[in-house]
Amino acid sequence: MKTKTFFDWEINLAEELNAVIDEGAKKMVVMCGFIELSAVLWIDEGGLLQLKPTWDCVISIDAEEKTITIRSADAE
C-alpha cells in the first residue's frame, strides 16, 4: 500500500493504483494505470467528503482514524 494525504484524510492505495489531486477543486481521481478510473473523491460545499467508486473498486473507511483504503475488487 502507498499513502496519499487528501486534506485531513489519509488515503491508502493498493500499489497498482495512482492518484491525481487537484487541491483547488478539492478533488482526487484514483486510477489503475492511466486509463481505468477506480474512484473519485471530493470535498463538497458543506465540507463533507464524497466518494464515487467504480464497480470493481473496494473502499474501506475508518472514520475514527480518518483513513480510507482503496483496492481493486480482484485483489485478495
**Does residue 4 surpass a pLDDT of 80?**
yes
**Does residue 27 surpass a pLDDT of 90?**
yes
pLDDT score for 10: 96
pLDDT score for 57: 85
Mean pLDDT within 37-41: 87
Q: How far apart (Å, rounded) are the C-alpha atoms in residues 47 and 58?
A: 23
pLDDT score for 56: 82
pTM > 0.95: no
Burial of residue 10 (CB within 10 Å: 0-12, 13-18, 19+) is middle
